[in-house]
C-alpha cells in the first residue's frame, strides 16, 4: 500500500511536491482542469507532468477526471455523446501517459453540507445535519431527476467509456454521493449511495476498469459496517483507491473529524485492506481545518503521518 496525497494541476510545484515528499507521501493524485477537456490530445502534457512528479521522488498514481464535463451525460441531454467522446480521449491520454487510474462522481447536484461545526482546539469540521438543511431546503429546478433516469444515464455512459478505459489500461474509480443518503436533495435523486447500488453499477459494464473510489467516510455515512464493506468490495477487486478518513455521527447527522477520533477503528480498517489483498494508493482525502493553518499543511502532515504509521504497522 502506498501513501498518496492530492493537488490541483496548477498547484503541482516543486515546493508542494517537496513538502509531500518530506512528510512521507509516496504518490500523487492530480485533478485535471477543465482545460484538458478541450478536444485535444493531452498525452504529452500528462507525460511531462508524470516526469516532473517523478523528478521529485513521487509517483503520479491518479489523474482525477472530476472536472471533465459530464453535466449532459448525467442529465441525458443533447450533447452527451460529444461529452462522452471527450471522456474517451481523456482516458486514452491518461493511459498513454502510463497512469493507471482516474476518478469521477455521478450526481446531478454536488455534495451537500450544513454549516460547519467546531471541534477540538477550535478546528473546523465539515458537517451534515439533515434537519438543519431542511429548514431551508435546497432546490435546483433545472437539475430535478429521478433515480431510474440516473441509473439509465450512468449505464449509457459506462457502456461506452469502460471498454476504452480497459483498452487504455485505466481503472475508473466512482466516488460515492456525499452524503450518500437515499433521499433526493435539491430535487435530484442520488444513486451512488449504497453498496447494493454500487454492485448494480458494476454490473452495467463488467470490467476491472469499472470500480469504486472507496471513501471510508462516505461508507460510514451510509450506515455501513466499514470493515465488512472493505471485505465486500475488496474481495471483488473493485477498490481502485482509498479515501482513508472517518466521521462521527449518523447518516443524517455527522461531522468529518480528525482521523483518530471518529467512530471507526482505523487500525482494523487497515488490517481489512491487507486481508483482501489491496495494495494500491490510500490517502486522507481532506481533514478538519486547523486554526492558524491557512494552507492546510499541518492537517495534511498530521493525517499523513497517522496513515503512514498504520501502513507500516500492518503491511510491514
pLDDT by position in tens, the chain (length 316) = 999 999 999 999 999 999 999 999 999 999 999 999 998 999 999 999 999 999 999 999 999 999 999 999 999 999 999 999 999 999 999 999 999 999 999 999 999 999 999 999 999 999 999 999 999 999 999 999 999 999 999 999 999 999 999 999 999 999 999 999 999 999 999 999 999 999 999 999 999 999 999 999 999 999 999 999 999 999 999 999 999 999 999 999 999 999 999 999 999 999 999 999 999 999 999 999 999 999 999 999 999 999 999 999 999 8
Q: Give me the residues paired with residue 231 across strands.
A: none
SS3 for 256? strand
Q: Would you state the pLDDT for residue 14?
A: 98
pLDDT at residue number 229: 98
Over its C-alpha atoms, the chain yields an Rg (Å, rounded) of 19
* 3-class secondary-structure state, position 117: strand
Return the pLDDT at 316: 83
Sign of the Cα pseudo-torsion (52, 102, 111, 122, in order) = negative
Strand ordering across the sheet containing 171-174? 59-64, 27-31, 2-8, 281-283, 239-243, 210-215, 171-174, 101-104
Tell me which residue has cell 475508473.
Answer: 172
| C-alpha to C-alpha distances, 111 to 239, 253, 299, nearest whole angstrom | 21, 15, 22
Q: Mark out the alpha helices in the chain (DSSP H runs).
A: 14-22, 43-55, 71-75, 80-96, 130-134, 147-168, 195-204, 216-221, 226-234, 266-275, 297-315
Amino acid at each position: 500500500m502506498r501513501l498518496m496525497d492530492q493537488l490541483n494541476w496548477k498547484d503541482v510545484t516543486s515546493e508542494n511536491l517537496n513538502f509531500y515528499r518530506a512528510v512521507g507521501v509516496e504518490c500523487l493524485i492530480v485533478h485535471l482542469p477543465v482545460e484538458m477537456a478541450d478536444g485535444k490530445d493531452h498525452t504529452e502534457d500528462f507525460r511531462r507532468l508524470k516526469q516532473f512528479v517523478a523528478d521529485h521522488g513521487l509517483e503520479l498514481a491518479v489523474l482525477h477526471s472530476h472536472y471533465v464535463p459530464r453535466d449532459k451525460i448525467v442529465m441525458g441531454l443533447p450533447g452527451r455523446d460529444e461529452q462522452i467522446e471527450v471522456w474517451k480521449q481523456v482516458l486514452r491520454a491518461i493511459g498513454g501517459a502510463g497512469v493507471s487510474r482516474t476518478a469521477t462522481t455521478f450526481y446531478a447536484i454536488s455534495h451537500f453540507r450544513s454549516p460547519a461545526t467546531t471541534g477540538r482546539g477550535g478546528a473546523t469540521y465539515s458537517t451534515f445535519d439533515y434537519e438543519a438543511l431542511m429548514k431551508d431546503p435546497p432546490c435546483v429546478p433545472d437539475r430535478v431527476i429521478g433515480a431510474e433516469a440516473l441509473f439509465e444515464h450512468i449505464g449509457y455512459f459506462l457502456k461506452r467509456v469502460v471498454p476504452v478505459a480497459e483498452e487504455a489500461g485505466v481503472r475508473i474509480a466512482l466516488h460515492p454521493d456525499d452524503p450518500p443518503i437515499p433521499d433526493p436533495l435539491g430535487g435530484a435523486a442520488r444513486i451512488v449511495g449504497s453498496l447494493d447500488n454500487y454492485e448494480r453499477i458494476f454490473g452495467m459494464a463488467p470490467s476491472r476498469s469499472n470500480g469504486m473510489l472507496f471513501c471510508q467516510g462516505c461508507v460510514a455515512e451510509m450506515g455501513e459496517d466499514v470493515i465488512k464493506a472493505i471485505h465486500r468490495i475488496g474481495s471483488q477487486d473493485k477498490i481502485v483507491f482509498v479515501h482513508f478518513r472517518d466521521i462521527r455521527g449518523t447518516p443524517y447527522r455527522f461531522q468529518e473529524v480528525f482521523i483518530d477520533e471518529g467512530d471507526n477503528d482505523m487500525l482494523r480498517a487497515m488490517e481489512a485492506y491487507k486481508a483482501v489483498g489491496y495494495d494500491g494508493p490510500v490517502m486522507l482525502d481532506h481533514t478538519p481545518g486547523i486554526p492558524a493553518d491557512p494552507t492546510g499543511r499541518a492537517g495534511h502532515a498530521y493525517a499523513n503521518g497517522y496513515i503512514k504509521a498504520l501502513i507500516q504497522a500492518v503491511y510491514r
